[in-house]
Amino acid sequence: MTKDWNTRTKLVHAGTRRSQYGEVSEAIFLTQGFVYDTAEAAEARFLKAGPDEFIYARYGNPTVRMFEDRIAALEGAEDAFATASGMAAVNGALMSMLKAGDHLVASRALFGSCLYILEDILTRFGVEVTFVDGTDLDAWRGAIRADTTAVFLESISNPTLEVIDLEAVAEIAHGVGALVVVDNVFATPIYSRALQMGADVVIYSTTKHIDGQGRCLGGVVLGSQQFIRKTVEPYLKHTGGAMSPFNAWVMLKGMETLDIRVRAMTDSATAIATALDGDARLARVIFPHLPSHPQHAVARRMIARGGTMLSLDIKGGQAAAFRFLNALQIFTISNNLGDAKSIVTHPATTTHQRLGEDQRMALGITPGLVRVSVGLEDADDLLADLTGALAAV
């Protein structure tokens, strides 16, 4: 049975559906719709579609369903809905579950577009949003009320890699019956134990590690069958956030190598973080499994390994950070992450530019901060590139 398989077997086989041709590689059903043998069959399918019956690609498609089933098996979730991007998944999960008058509590350290949904969109529709320091359990206790509908957090935040004690937050939230929604990109589905730790809904931008080769946007919402099919699906199928069948195929192929890639990237990230920790040219090296990480004990409990991301706070502010970025030979300046290609980002002037200086400083996004996504290149080459660029600062 699929559910008894270990990770790598699920990543290669779970969810596979074969056509009458018995193809080895998953087929790309690049079709918007499906035909019915008779008018009665069309009527019956609109009334109730079976597990292998599809109506329209905005509702579901065989290639997309293969991807949904594969990632649900990996995460240990009952069901999943794949979306056009990570943000379509965040928006779909939140908009489908919330209504005017609801109260949402969220950690402050969030991806910029998630902040926009919470601060600018949900509030416009009468949802009350309270932000807290996600690492402060007393702050969660203080903000969560008897009428709180949901909490939203990034399990490991972008770009400062704060690690939230999901188990503790879930316990507080469940005490009042609030749903726990986790944006789990930085933890990756390989190291995630979010559902076991109390998350009700887990969201990934599959653009990141799951594609992992910088080709496609994608996202996914995972949760109970009831939540996915009765809450998320009706919203997403009518508002048009579906994943394209071609992108689902790219994600299926990405999943086959996901475990190998994430572990290899983590090996390199761990080696780099360890080598650079304590370097006099750096104010901070942030990596969840370094003993110097502020939530080190929580990080050890939350994720089996430190992940593929680290952040470096370069002494000398923005000018020094820019000299560092411009001196790199292998790392490319971009804003994706989880990619085979190693990538560096200067959050203060790019991904978090929209936030004011005060908000950036409150989040620890200093002018010298550089986010590093460690790819699949040779680890020694990557470390030499980073130390060479530091020497150029």
Ligand X SMILES: *Cc1c(COP(=O)(O)O)cnc(C)c1O
Distance in Å, CB of 77 to ligand X, minimum:
18
Closest to ligand X by CB, 117 vs 179, is 117
Range in contact with ligand X (rule: CB under 6 A) among 83-91, 250-258, 356-364, 379-387: 83-91
Give me the least distance between CB of 72 and ligand X, in Å please.
Answer: 19
* Cβ within 8 Å of residue 157, ≥6 positions away: 107, 109, 110, 134, 163, 164, 186
**Segment contacting ligand X by CB under 6 A, of 26-34, 110-118, 229-237, 368-376:** 110-118
Contacts of 75 (CB under 8 A, 6+ apart): 189, 192, 194, 195, 202, 222
Cβ(153)–Cβ(106) under 8 Å? yes
Is there binding between residue 288 and ligand X (CB under 6 A)?
Answer: no
Give yes or no for residue 185 binding ligand X (CB under 6 A). yes
**Interaction between residue 272 and ligand X (CB under 6 A):** no
What the block records as the tokens of 134 is 């996600």
Q: Residues 154, 162, 313, 385: which binds ligand X (CB under 6 A)?
A: 154
User: Positive or negative CA dihedral for 235, 236, 237, 240?
Assistant: positive
Q: How far is the CB of 110 from ligand X (least distance, A)?
A: 8
Q: Please list the alpha-helical segments (H only) found in the chain.
A: 7-13, 39-47, 62-75, 86-97, 112-116, 137-143, 166-175, 188-191, 225-226, 233-239, 245-256, 258-276, 296-302, 317-327, 357-362, 379-392
Using CB under 6 A, which residues numbered 193 to 212 contact ligand X?
A: 205, 207-208
Alpha-carbon span 349 to 90, nearest angstrom? 24
Q: Stretches 73-81, 106-114, 120-128, 285-293: which one binds ligand X (CB under 6 A)?
A: 106-114
Quick one: which segment of 42-50, 85-93, 233-241, 316-324 binds ligand X (CB under 6 A)? 85-93
**Residue of 15, 60, 62, 86 that binds ligand X (CB under 6 A):** 86
Residue 266 CB, shortest distance to ligand X, in Å, is 17
**Residues lying near ligand X in the complex (CB under 6 A):** 85-87, 90, 111, 113-114, 154, 158, 183, 185, 205, 207-208, 217, 219
